[in-house]
């Protein structure tokens, strides 16, 4: 069923895998198993007991000495001349491989298959069954079978590489794993139209493929072969061998998207509860039961568990995750962003090396616009106060901005992004990557804002990480702010104002403005800004509509400029909110007018005082005439004062003084 045309030809050339060594062979009917011991069916009594694991082999020295260099050294170099028992504790392939090697030494026919060839090849090397002792020894026979039969077969290469998992380091030193990996890589990169060998194909409902249970599935010449035909066959390999195969496939130049798809297929099989879509839950403790349904991979491990039996499985899972991170193609879109985020979640949970986690975060940042909210809600495994890892999302956003800046500065990448934008516009999705990431961040903030342990500074930093041009509408940001205010009712007025600064009121829709006008959690200043910005937008909309009309039509229609008509087009709830805000605005205007009038009065008084001060401080010019008049005025004032003080004496004196003129008049007359 698994044989191709090449496989059948090679099998005939090699005698269909059966070979024997009749030289120095014993006359025996074969081996007989009695309990845990093997006996040779011959009349000659055995003289050597070889123990391999729990199995005992009752054999003869001569057949083994003639073909095994190691047996020669052990027997002849031993200080005990009557050595009758040898123990092999580290023989590769175990008792099964030694049984075949012993049969070969006795000249019995040995059936070579893809399942036993690797162990027998390593056992032959361990027993030193080389050409130095006998021509056509076991090393030569097994090496020829590997080169001419196994490596020419797709199925046999997979089986042999799978069997090498228990033969380290012998399989590595003998280059069995490397040669099988190269053979698999060459066949995987072949043109699908020319494939004639059999393959498993897409995975079935069975947990893992069983080679012996498969029917004749070799594709016909007219059958279409999908490009992912090799995924399922390669996914049965251990992670180190899978990495070796993928590395060889990369060297051969396969498309990076196919390599990424193969990696995702492997991860879905070996880490189903960590990687597969729809399997991840917010509570990681609830998904351990699903891993038991697939018996081919590792079970779900929860870090910090007290069960010591799970520590080895946790290390195996960590090894798989680290290996998959290291072989993910560097090209963008080689794997989905959701897969990278789920891999990042598993890496944080299993405490993967920080360098690999950082590299994975950069890869996520390259295509963050493709992420979904469910993939971005990664729990915080560092026992922090917050439920979700907000710092991780902040780092992902920084990597995204760095990548966007790099793409915008590169002419080739700029032309590619323009092409993508053109295609996205025709598909009905004209949002650029920054706008899509902005929507994702707003949704993430709305979700994590319900956590009462989330600091306001972290919320602000994440909300302000993107440039203002990334958001054409701030409804999502307003929803996140409202959710945060609802979950943190103890915020002060100053803190609420500072939180609302991350939002631009002019970018809110009508529905958001209506909600904000009735939102008691928002500061009054923010409500006024929202209403004012909405009024400005309505006025601009009406003005633009009027200017776009035909001048002949507007000639006979009055312009709609009064506030009553403007408010008729707005909802009743918006009008009620506007009336309340208008009263507050009028009160503030009245107080401002009073302050202005007081300021004017104080300014006038200040000017009068300044003029008087200038008059007093400025000296006036004097003349002889003015000084005489001043003296006369002073004299008059002094006379008036003396009249009040002296009394009747002054009046008598005045009369006495006035008499001489009378005498002068009499004398004249």
Q: Is the pLDDT at 669 greater than 90, yes or no?
A: no
Closest CA to 269 of 202, 199, 182, 329: 202
Domain that holds residue 40: 31-152
pLDDT of residue 113: 93
Domain stop point among 327, 361, 395? 361
- What is the spatial distance between Cα 165 and Cα 644, in angstroms, rounded to a whole number? 137
Least reliable range by pLDDT among 126-140, 489-503, 567-581: 567-581
- What is the spatial distance between Cα 124 and Cα 130, in angstroms, rounded to a whole number? 8
CA angle 577/582/584 to nearest 5° reads 105
R_g (Cα) of the chain, nearest Å: 50
Q: Concatenated DSSP letters for 426-447?
A: HTT----HHHHHHHHHHHHHHH
Instruction: Find the mean pLDDT for residues 584-599.
Output: 76
More confident residue, 53 or 557: 53
Q: Is the pLDDT at 29 greater than 80, yes or no?
A: no
Q: Are residues 495 and 383 in the same domain?
A: yes
Q: Is the pLDDT at 295 greater than 80, yes or no?
A: no
The answer to the question of residue 17 being in a domain is no
Domain with residue 88: its CATH number is 3.30.710.10
Q: Are residues 492 and 470 in the same domain?
A: yes
Q: Are residues 480 and 531 in the same domain?
A: no
More confident residue, 627 or 251: 251
The answer to the question of residue 14 being in a domain is no
Q: Are residues 497 and 373 in the same domain?
A: yes
Identify the band that residue 20 occupies on the pLDDT scale cut at 50, 70 and 90.
low
388-410 pLDDT, tens digit per residue, is 999 999 999 999 999 888 877 65
- CB count within 10 Å of CB 214 equals 16
The answer to the question of residue 25 being in a domain is no
Q: Is the pLDDT at 590 greater than 50, yes or no?
A: yes
Q: Is the pLDDT at 418 greater than 50, yes or no?
A: no
518-528 pLDDT, tens digit per residue, is 888 888 888 88
- CB count within 10 Å of CB 425 equals 11
Q: What is the pTM of this model?
A: 0.70
Closest CA to 140 of 32, 21, 266, 24: 21
- β-strand pairing of 48-52 with 55-59: antiparallel
Q: Are residues 318 and 387 in the same domain?
A: no
Q: Is the pLDDT at 297 greater than 60, yes or no?
A: no
Identify the band that residue 91 occupies on the pLDDT scale cut at 50, 70 and 90.
very high
The answer to the question of residue 119 being in a domain is yes
Q: Are residues 531 and 578 in the same domain?
A: yes
pLDDT of residue 177: 94
Q: Are residues 78 and 115 in the same domain?
A: yes
Q: Are residues 458 and 577 in the same domain?
A: no
Question: Could you tell me which residues are beta bridge partners of residue 31?
Answer: 40
- What is the spatial distance between Cα 59 and Cα 93, in angstroms, rounded to a whole number? 19
Identify the band that residue 623 occupies on the pLDDT scale cut at 50, 70 and 90.
low
Q: Are residues 117 and 134 in the same domain?
A: yes
Q: Are residues 499 and 570 in the same domain?
A: no
- What is the spatial distance between Cα 144 and Cα 433, in angstroms, rounded to a whole number? 57
The answer to the question of residue 386 being in a domain is yes
Query: Which of the 8 DSSP states describes residue 31?
Result: E
- What Å distances lie between residue 552 and 148, 298, 542, 545, 587, CA to CA? 93, 79, 18, 15, 43
Q: Is the pLDDT at 246 greater than 60, yes or no?
A: yes
Instruction: Find the mean pLDDT for residues 422-430.
Output: 43
pLDDT of residue 529: 81
More confident residue, 429 or 471: 471
More confident residue, 570 or 274: 274
pLDDT of residue 46: 81
pLDDT of residue 559: 40
Helix and strand counts by DSSP (H, E) for the chain: 30, 7
Instruction: Find the mean pLDDT for residues 539-556.
Output: 60
Q: Is the pLDDT at 209 greater than 50, yes or no?
A: no
Can you give the three-state secondary structure of 262-291, one letter per residue?
HHHHHHHHHCHHHHCCCCCCCCHHHHCCHH
pLDDT of residue 540: 74
Instruction: Find the mean pLDDT for residues 322-338.
Output: 93
Q: Is the pLDDT at 376 greater than 90, yes or no?
A: yes
Q: Are residues 590 and 496 in the same domain?
A: no
Q: Is the pLDDT at 558 greater than 50, yes or no?
A: no
Least reliable range by pLDDT among 384-398, 436-450, 566-580, 655-669: 655-669
The two tokens of residue 336 are 């989905």
What is the tally of structural domains in the chain?
4
The answer to the question of residue 486 being in a domain is yes
Instruction: Find the mean pLDDT for residues 308-318.
Output: 73
pLDDT of residue 53: 87
Q: Is the pLDDT at 633 greater than 70, yes or no?
A: no
Query: Widest CA span of the chain, in angstroms?
Result: 206
Kindly report the average pLDDT of the chain as a whole number: 76
The answer to the question of residue 298 being in a domain is no
pLDDT of residue 268: 92
Percentage above 70 pLDDT, the chain: 68
> Quick one: how far is CA 3 from the chain centroid?
44
Q: What are φ and ψ of residue 278, in 5° steps?
A: 80, -5
Percentage above 90 pLDDT, the chain: 36
Least reliable range by pLDDT among 260-274, 425-439, 450-464, 555-569: 555-569
pLDDT of residue 179: 95
The answer to the question of residue 127 being in a domain is yes
Q: Are residues 355 and 390 in the same domain?
A: no
Can you give the three-state secondary structure of 240-268, one letter per residue?
HHHHHHHHHHHHHCCCHHHHHHHHHHHHH
């Amino acid at each position: 069923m698994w044989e191709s045309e090449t496989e059948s030809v090679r099998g005939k050339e090699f005698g269909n895998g059966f070979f024997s060594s009749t030289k120095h062979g014993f006359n025996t009917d074969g081996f007989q198993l009695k309990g845990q011991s093997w006996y040779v069916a011959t009349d000659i009594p055995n003289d050597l007991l070889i123990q391999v694991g729990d199995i005992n082999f009752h054999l003869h020295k001569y057949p083994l000495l003639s073909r095994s260099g190691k047996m020669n050294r052990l027997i002849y170099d031993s200080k005990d001349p009557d050595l009758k028992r040898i123990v092999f504790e580290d023989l590769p392939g175990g008792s099964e491989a030694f049984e075949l090697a012993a049969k070969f030494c006795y000249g019995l026919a040995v059936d070579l298959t893809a399942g036993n060839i690797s162990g027998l090849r390593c056992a032959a090397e361990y027993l030193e069954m080389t050409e130095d002792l006998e021509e056509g020894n076991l090393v030569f026979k097994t090496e020829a079978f590997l080169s001419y039969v196994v490596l020419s077969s797709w199925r046999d290469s997979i089986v042999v590489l799978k069997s090498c998992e228990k033969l380290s380091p012998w399989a590595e030193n003998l280059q069995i794993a490397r040669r099988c990996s190269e053979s698999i890589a060459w066949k995987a990169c072949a043109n699908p139209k020319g494939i004639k060998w059999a393959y498993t194909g897409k995975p079935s409902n069975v947990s893992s493929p069983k080679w012996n249970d498969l029917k004749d599935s070799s594709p016909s010449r007219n059958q279409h072969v999908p490009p992912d035909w090799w995924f399922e066959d390669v996914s049965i390999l251990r992670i180190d061998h899978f990495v070796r195969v993928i590395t060889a496939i990369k060297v051969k130049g396969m498309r990076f998207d196919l390599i990424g798809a193969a990696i995702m297929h492997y991860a879905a099989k070996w880490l189903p509860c960590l990687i597969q879509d729809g399997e991840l839950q917010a509570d990681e403790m609830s998904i351990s039961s699903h891993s038991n349904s697939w018996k081919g991979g590792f079970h779900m491990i929860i870090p910090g568990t007290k069960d010591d039996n799970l520590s080895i499985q946790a290390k195996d899972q960590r090894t798989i995750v680290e290996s998959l991170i290291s072989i993910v193609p560097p090209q963008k879109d080689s794997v989905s962003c959701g897969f990278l985020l789920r891999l990042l979640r598993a890496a944080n949970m299993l405490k993967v090396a920080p360098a690999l986690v950082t590299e994975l975060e950069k890869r996520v940042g390259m295509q963050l616009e493709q992420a979904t909210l469910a993939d971005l809600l990664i729990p915080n495994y560092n026992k922090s106060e917050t439920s979700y890892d907000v710092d991780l999302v902040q780092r992902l956003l920084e990597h995204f901005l760095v990548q966007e800046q790099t793409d915008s500065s590169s002419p080739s990448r700029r032309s590619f992004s323009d092409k993508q934008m053109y295609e996205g516009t025709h598909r009905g999705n004209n949002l650029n990557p920054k706008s899509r990431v902005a929507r994702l961040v707003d949704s993430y903030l709305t979700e994590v804002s319900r956590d009462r342990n989330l600091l306001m500074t972290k919320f602000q930093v994440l909300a302000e990480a993107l440039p203002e041009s990334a958001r054409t509408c701030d409804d999502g940001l307003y929803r996140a702010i409202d959710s945060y205010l609802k979950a943190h009712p103890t915020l002060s007025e100053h803190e609420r104002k500072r939180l609302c600064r991350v939002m631009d009121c002019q970018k809110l829709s009508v529905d958001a403005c209506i909600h904000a006008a009735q939102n008691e959690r928002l500061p009054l200043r923010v409500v006024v800004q929202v209403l004012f910005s909405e009024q400005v937008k309505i006025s601009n909309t009406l003005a633009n509509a009027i200017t776009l009309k035909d001048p002949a039509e507007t000639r006979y229609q009055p312009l709609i400029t009064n506030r009553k008509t403007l408010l008729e087009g707005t909802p009743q709830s918006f009008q009620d909110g506007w009336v309340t805000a208008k009263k507050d605005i009028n009160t503030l205007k009245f107080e401002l007018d009073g302050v202005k009038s007081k300021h004017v009065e104080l300014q006038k008084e200040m000017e009068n005082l300044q003029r008087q001060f200038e008059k007093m401080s400025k000296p006036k010019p004097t003349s002889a005439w003015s000084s005489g008049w001043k003296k006369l005025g002073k004299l008059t004032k002094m006379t008036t004062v003396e009249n009040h003080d002296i009394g009747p004496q002054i009046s008598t004196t005045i009369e006495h003084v006035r008499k001489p003129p009378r005498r002068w008049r009499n004398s004249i007359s």
